[in-house]
Structures are given as structure tokens and as C-alpha cells.
Amino acid sequence: MKALLEKYFPYTNETPPNHPRHNRTKTINPTVFCEFNNSKGSKCQKSPPKPSVNKIFLKYREHYIEFLENLCRSTQTGISVQILASKIFDIVNSLKVFSIDRYEALAVICWSIATKFEWDDIKLGLEELKECGNGLDEDLLKSLEVEVLELLDWKITRKTSLYYVDKYREYGYVTNEEIRKRENSGKIDEMVGKYSATLAQMACRVPELVLENDKIIACSCIAFARKKLGLRNNWTCTLEEITGIEENQLRMHELEEKYYCMLNSKF
């Protein structure tokens, strides 16, 4: 992840700007669970369990998000699978407390579900999953897969932060007026899109963004990419109109802190 940041962003021994911490509390946005777990307009007779932050899970979370990154890299299943798998991993852990010794198997199952959803031609059997998880027990993998799907009410969504980053590309991240005012700006819109996708991947590691609305995460990535590329405004009225997200809803501070933390790390 650090290598990606150094590749896609200009690095000049930057230090985090001195800005006040975001005043938003570390809570789960319940609408995210509803969007993910229920089709629009449907009414469940039984109220779904309310998502909540599990402090033990948050303590170990980044290790398993990194595990998912490495798994997707080694199997070449891509960023879209990684982000969806991370989202599923967060949601199921917000709905049920799993023992720590199940986290690795759970991460593998979330990756398997995301892979089946994104890649119709990939068929993953238990043998492949056991190898991915260093020889995990088959019965454990079987029971966990059913448990995860039941927690998700057997519904999966494509609408991750990366989905929205790609969706807004067709409208343009940079206005024609901004392009005219900037020298050597022929590829500026393309660069914003590329950087935003990298930031969407990085956002999976930010604990403050666990189960945040994916559209808000995507817009925060776009705004931060615009800032890093030197555009005058991080967010514009045009982008607000296109996305429906106001500037005060963005979570740039959390992204910025993680960006500098990873970029200035020794590893």
C-alpha cells in the first residue's frame, strides 16, 4: 500500500498539516447496513441487528485488511474484490462478535464471497480456500460461509467506494474551467481518477471509516486527490450537484492522517 502511495503521489517528506480533528464520533452509520442488507423499499418483519463497533475487532482489523490486500494481490483478483471483501468483513464483524482465532478464516470467506460476486469465471473450492488460509479446517470454512451469508441476508452489493469513484468518472472530476486555468492539465482528470482509486483502497485501512457511507468515502477520495494535485478547491458546486454530497460531509481529515502515517512509516 505504501508503495502505491509513493508511486501515485508526489512525495517531498511531507508532514501532516495542523488541522483540528474531525468532530464526528466513531459510530456506525446504520443507513449503510440498511442499504447493504435490504433491497430498496423492502420491509423486514424482523428488525435486523443494529451494527456496533467491536473494540477487539478494531484492534486487530488492520492486520486482516492487510491480509486481504496481500491475498488479492497474490491471486490477482483486483482492488474491487479487495474493497468489497473488506466491506463484508467489517459488516459481519459489526453484527456479531467473532472470536479472534476465527478472523483469518472469516477474512478468507469474505474474500471468497467477493471473488464469486465479481468474477463469474472463478470457481473456488474448499481446497483453494484452505491454501489461502494456511490449511484452515474445511468444516469451519463451510459453517462460516453460511453464517456470513445469513448475516448479510444473502444479499451482496457492488456499490463500494470504488464503484462510486468509477461512476463519477463519466461526469468528470475536474471542470473545463479548472482545466483551462491549469498548465499541462491534459491528463488532470485521469490523474484524479487514478489517485482516487488508490485512496479508496487505502481507505479500507482507516478505522474511523468503518462502515461509513461508500459514496461519502468515494467523494472524500476524489476531494483529497484534487487537493494533492494542486487544484484550487477540494470540492466544487458541480461535484456536489453530481454526487449529492456536501463538502461538510467529506471525511478528508481521516484519509489525510492515514496517508501521511503510511507514507512516513519506515516500512
Residue 64 sits in a domain whose CATH number is 1.10.472.10
Indicate whether 209 and 140 sit together in one domain.
no
Indicate whether 118 and 72 sit together in one domain.
yes
Tell me whether residue 1 is in a domain.
no
Indicate whether 166 and 213 sit together in one domain.
yes
> Which pLDDT value is given to residue 225?
94
> Which pLDDT value is given to residue 196?
95
> Which pLDDT value is given to residue 24?
38
Indicate whether 187 and 102 sit together in one domain.
no
Exposure b/e, 158-191, CB count within 10 A at least 16 = b: eebbbbbbbebbeebbbbeebeeeeeeeeebbeb
Q: Which of 134, 151, 168 is the last residue in one of the domains?
A: 151
Indicate whether 141 and 227 sit together in one domain.
no
Per DSSP, the residues of 184-253 read T-TTHHHHHHHHHHHHHHHHTT-GGGTT--HHHHHHHHHHHHHHHTT-S-SS-HHHHHHH---GGG--HH
> Which pLDDT value is given to residue 23?
40
The structural domain count of the chain equals 2
Q: How far apart are CA 62 and CA 182, in angstroms?
A: 38
pLDDT < 50 regions, the chain: 11-13, 19-35, 37-46, 266-267
Q: How far apart are CA 207 and CA 55, in angstroms?
A: 11
Domain span including residue 168: 159-263
> Which pLDDT value is given to residue 140?
78
pTM of the model: 0.76
> Which pLDDT value is given to residue 38?
44
Indicate whether 237 and 187 sit together in one domain.
yes
In tens, the pLDDT along 21-41 reads 444 333 334 444 444 544 443
Indicate whether 164 and 129 sit together in one domain.
no
> Which pLDDT value is given to residue 116?
82
